[in-house]
A and B are shown apart, each in its own frame.
Chain A
C-alpha cells in the first residue's frame, strides 16, 4: 500500500451531506492520484474538466445532467478513470461536436460502466492511445431525426491500442465509429437501431472485432479503406432496407472474416474492390443476397461457409476473377456424391442467371419464384452460357458444416 503512489491519493467525497456538493468543485480540488467518489444524487452540471490523473468514481448510480448546456466531462490528462455514472442531455452542436465524455490528446484513459443518455456524441476519444471503453450503455433518441442531426455513440479518432468492449449502443448515427484507429480491439459490443452504421471504420488497420452483435441498423456495418482486419464470431442481423448491408466491405485487403453469422439482412456481405480476404466458416441464413461480389474484387477465398435460405446466394455485376469458392454448403445444390466423401461430384454455380438479370434490371425482382425464372435458372445451370465461368464451387459440401463439431472433416478437406 505504501509503496504504490496512487494509493497515497486522498478520497474526495461528493454527495448531499458530504464535504463537496458539486462534482466540478471536487474535480477541481483534486490532486494527481486522488479519487473523487460521488455517492448517488443528481448533479445539474456541465463543463467538468479533468486536468489531472485522477479517478472519478460513481457509486449508487449518480446522475450528471448537462441540461443541454454543452459538453459534460472533458478529459485533458493521461491516466484518468471515469466509472459508474449516468451522464445525460447534451444538445446538438455542429461546431463543437459536444459529447458526454470527451478525451483529447492523452493516453491510458479508462471509461467504464457508465450510462450515457440522450446526447449528441456519446463517448468521444480523439488521439487517446491505449484507452479502454468498457461496459458502457450509450442510448440516443433518433426517432424522426435525420442522419446529420445525430452524433456517434462511441467515436474514436486517431488512436492506437484502444479497447472497446462490452458496450451497448443504440439510437445514434453510427454505433461505433473508428477513423485512423490502429491495433485496437472491439469485443462483445451490441450495436443496434442506429440510423446509419452499427460499426463504421475507415483507415483503421490491424484491428480485431470479435463477438459483437450488430442488429437493425440503417445500413449495417461498413468497413472501408483498411487492411489487416480480423472479424470473428460477430452476428449481423435484421439490417433491412433499400441501402442496408450486413457487412459492407470497400477497399479492404488481407483480412479474415471467420465464424460470423449473417441472418435476415437485405445483403449479407457487399464487397467492392476488396482483395485477399479469407471468408470462412460463416453462416449466411435467410438473406436477400448472401454475397454481392462486385467485379472489382480479386483473390478472395470463400471456404466452409453455410448458405441456407437466401433468395440469392451470390450475385455480381460482371465477372470477378481469381476468387475461390470451395467446400461451401449451398442449400440449393442438387448434385450427388457417388464416392461418399461428403463432397459433391458436380460443381455448383452460386450465381444464377436470374440474379444477374435482377442486378441489371432491378424491377425484375417482381418475378422471383415465377415458374419461368426457375426454368431459366435450371437450364442455365446445366448449360452455362451467361453466368460468369469463374464463379463456381468445384467441391461443394453435401451437408451443412457444423463449425464446432466438424473439425475433423475440415482437417480432412484441408
Chain B
C-alpha cells in the first residue's frame, strides 16, 4: 500500500498543478496578511477564501485525478492486490498531497503572521476540508463512469456545501423564527463541514458579536474542550462516511 501511495504522490507532484496550488495559497495568505492591518483581519479574509477555494480545488482535482488514473488502477486491479487497498492508496495519495500543499501555503504564513489557537483551528479546518472534499470527489467519481458527469456531480456538491446549504438553512431559520432554534441551528451547522469549520474559527475571532444573546450559548458549547472534541469527531465522520461508501462502491463495482 505504501508503495502505491508513493507512486500516486510521484504522479501528482510531476503534474505541477499541486505546485501551482501551493504557490497560489502562499501568495494569497501572505498578501492578505500584509493587506489587512491586523493579523485578526488577515485571518478573517483568509478564512473566507479558504472555505471557498479549498473545497473547490480539492473536489475538482480529486475527480479529474481519479478519472485520469483509471488506466493505472485497472492495471493494478489485474495484479494480486485488494481493490480496497488500491482505492485507499489513491485517496490518501491525493488528500495527503493537497493537505501538504495547504500546510505549506497557508500553515506557514499563519504560523509567521498570526500564531495562536485561532490560526491552528484555521489550518486544522482547512486540512479536514481537504480530506472531506477529496472523499466527496471520489464518491462522485465512483458513482458514474462518465468523466463529464462525474465532474458535474462534484461541482454540484461543492455548490451545495459552499452556497446553497447556507441559503436553505437561513430560509428555514427565517420561516421558523418564532420557535426556539438554538439547538436546531447547532445540528444544522454540523450537517455541513464548511459551516462547522467556519464556526469553529469564528468563535475565536469575532468574539464581540459572538458574546451576544445566542452567540454566548454557542461560545460556551464550542469554547469547551468537550465541544471542540465533538466538532472534530463530526469532522472525522464527514471524512469517513464518503470514503467508506465510495470504497465499498469501488470494490463491488464492475470496472
Please determine whether chains A and B interact with each other in the same assembly: yes
* Chain B interface bracket (under 10, 10 to 19, 20 to 34, 35 or more): 35 or more
Residue of A240, A357, A363, A375 most packed against chain B (CB within 10 A): A363
Contacts of B207 in A (CB 8 A): 240, 264
Q: Say yes or no: B170 contacts A309, CB within 8 Å.
A: no
Which residues of the partner chain A approach B213 to less than 8 Å between Cβ atoms?
A: 242-243, 362
Interface of B is mostly: helix
How far does the Cβ of A236 sit from chain B's closest Cβ, in whole Å? 12
Given contacts A360-B174, A360-B177, A363-B185, contact A264 B208 (CB under 8 A): yes
The answer to whether A368 touches B202 (Cβ under 8 A) is yes
- Establish whether residues B211 and A311, one from each chain, have CB atoms under 8 Å apart when the complex forms: no
Contact A364 B208 (CB under 8 A): no
Indicate if the CB atoms of B185 and A364 lie closer than 8 Å. yes
Judged by a CB distance under 8 angstroms, whether A17 is at the interface is: no
Interface residue from A360, A362, A371, A376 paired with B212 (Cβ < 8 Å): A362
Least Cβ distance of B189 to chain A in Å? 6
Inter-chain contacts of B198 with A (CB < 8 A): 369-370
B209 within 8 A of A: yes
Q: Tell me whether B170 and A311 are in contact (CB under 8 A).
A: no
Q: B residues within 8 A CB of A243?
A: 213
Residues of B55-88 whose CB lies within 8 A of A? none
Are B44 and A369 touching (Cβ within 8 A)? yes
Q: A368-B206, A371-B48, A372-B166 are in contact. Are A363 and B181 (CB under 8 A)?
A: yes
Q: Interface stretch among B7-15, B214-222, B237-245?
A: B214-222
Closest to A286 in B: B208
In the docked arrangement, what's the CA distance between A385 and B186, Å?
A: 30
Among B41, B44, B166, B199, max chain A CB count under 10 A is at B166
Residues B208 and A361 in contact, CB atoms below 8 Å apart? no
The proximity string for A residues 262-279 relative to B, scoring 1 for CB distances below 8 Å and 0 otherwise, is 001111000000000000
Task: Look across to chain B and name the residue whose beta carbon is closest to the beta carbon of A267.
Answer: B212
Task: Give the chain B neighbours of A376 by CB distance below 8 A.
Answer: 170
Q: Does A367 contact B (CB under 8 A)?
A: yes
Report the interface size for chain A: residues with CB under 8 A from the other chain: 35
A288 to B52, CA, bound (A): 24
User: Is A149 an interface residue, CB under 8 A from the partner?
Assistant: no
Most A Cβ at <10 Å: residue of B44, B198, B218:
B198
Q: Report the Cα distance A343→B70, complex, angstroms.
A: 60
| Given known A363-B173, A369-B202, A370-B166, contact A289–B216 (CB-CB < 8 A) | no
Establish whether residues A371 and B52, one from each chain, have CB atoms under 8 Å apart when the complex forms. yes
What residues of chain B lie closer than 8 Å to A361, measured between beta carbons? 173-174, 177, 181
Instruction: Decide yes or no whether B163 CB sits under 8 A from chain A.
Output: yes
B50 CB to closest chain A CB, in angstroms? 11
CB-CB nearest in chain B for A372: B166
Which residues of chain A (277-291) have a CB below 8 Å from chain B?
A: 286-289
Interface residue? B182 (CB, 8 A): yes
Residues from chain B with Cβ under 8 Å of A371 in the complex: 48, 51-52, 162-163, 166
Distance of B230 from chain A, by nearest CB (Å):
15
Given known A-B contacts A371-B48, A372-B166, A365 and B208 have beta carbons under 8 A apart? no
**A240-B216 Cα distance, complex, nearest whole Å:** 9
* Measured CA separation A326–B209 after assembly (Å): 25
Flag whether A373 is at the interface (Cβ < 8 A). yes
Report the bound CA distance from A310 to B174 in whole Å.
24
Chain B residues engaging chain A, CB cutoff 8 angstroms: 41, 44, 47-48, 51-52, 162-163, 166-167, 169-170, 173-174, 177, 181-182, 184-186, 189, 195, 198-199, 202, 206-216, 218
Chain A residues within 8 Å of B, Cβ to Cβ: 240-244, 264-267, 286-289, 309-312, 357, 360-376
5 inter-chain pairs at a CB distance below 8 angstroms, sorted by A residue, are A363-B182, A364-B174, A365-B215, A371-B52, A372-B163
